[in-house]
Amino acid sequence: MSRIPQRFAQLAARGRKALIPFITAGDPSLEATVPVMHALVEAGADVVELGVPFSDPMADGPTIQRSSERALARGAGMAWVLEAVRRFRERDGDTPVVLMGYLNPVEIRGAEAFARQAAEAGVDGVLLVDLPPEEAPEFRAAFAAHDVDLVLLASPTTPDARLSMLLANARGYLYYVSFAGVTGAFGIRDAASAAAMATDADGVVVGSALVAALADAADAAEASRRATAFLAPLRAALD
């Protein structure tokens, strides 16, 4: 079992909702990524979601697309992302880490090899936005063998029959994309929207607004301060 179901069980026992911040690995700098991850945990994150930069992030909005471009220009490929998770694990062995990205960098390695590498680095879950669950049995089996959860997506337009299939196959948690469209969105940008969404969900994910807040931080220390300042009000709103 990965850390994710354990964390959600702990939260449920305390009557709390999960706060899951998303940052792009390698942005605003390579040096800032791990310190920002720790800062987010200290500010109340229950799970940290790390975006894997990709050259064609067609399912992301403009803020995360630009962030991914900047990170790739700095050299934040998959190998670097996994190493960042390893460094995070040197201080934090408890907080679940989920990688969010696209199929191609995983497929290049092969499902089994990637699952093994991710587990060895300390990854708990992976969300591949362009992997249809109907085409995922190889990945699902490889991930399960290494206790890495394959996180799936649902949207406002998901038919009931497909939703049942997603619920049966999802591991870790099931994402609900709150706005329909090519890029989708989760719609969480501040304390008020986080509290509103948490009424009907076990947790909330905040991505673009946080990525934007960090984008022009001068160094790792400033990025960490900004991460704390951004996330703390959301944690308070959920509690």
Token pair listed for 18: 């999960």
* 107 has catalytic annotation: no
Q: Among 46, 60, 124, 149, which one carries the catalytic annotation?
A: 60
Q: Where are the beta strands (DSSP E) in 74-186?
A: 97-101, 125-128, 149-150, 152-154, 174-176
Residue 181 confidence (pLDDT): 40
- The per-residue pLDDT for range 58-117, each reduced to its tens digit, is 777 788 889 999 999 999 999 999 999 999 999 999 999 999 999 999 999 999 999 999
Q: What is the pLDDT along the chain (239 residues), one digit of tens a residue?
A: 789 999 999 999 999 999 999 999 999 999 999 999 999 999 999 999 999 999 887 777 788 889 999 999 999 999 999 999 999 999 999 999 999 999 999 999 999 999 999 999 999 999 999 988 888 889 999 999 999 999 998 888 888 998 898 888 889 998 888 654 433 345 666 666 666 666 677 888 998 899 999 999 999 999 999 999 999 999 998 88
Token pair listed for 25: 């690995």
CA distance 17 to 32: 27
Residue 57 confidence (pLDDT): 76
Residue 28 confidence (pLDDT): 97
* 130 has catalytic annotation: no
CA distance 203 to 59: 21
Q: Is residue 117 within 8 Å of residue 109, measured between CB atoms? A: yes
Residue indicated by tokens 């200290």: 42
- Stated pTM of the model: 0.92
Q: What homologous superfamily does CATH list for 3-238?
A: Aldolase class I (3.20.20.70)
Q: Of 48, 84, 31, nearest to 218 (Cα)?
A: 31
- Three-class secondary structure of residue 194 per DSSP: helix
Residue 72 confidence (pLDDT): 95
| Residue 90, phi-psi category: left (phi > 0), alpha (psi -120 to 50), beta (remainder) | alpha
Q: Of 2, 6, 5, nearest to 174 (Cα)?
A: 5
Domain ranges, ordered by start, for the chain: 3-238
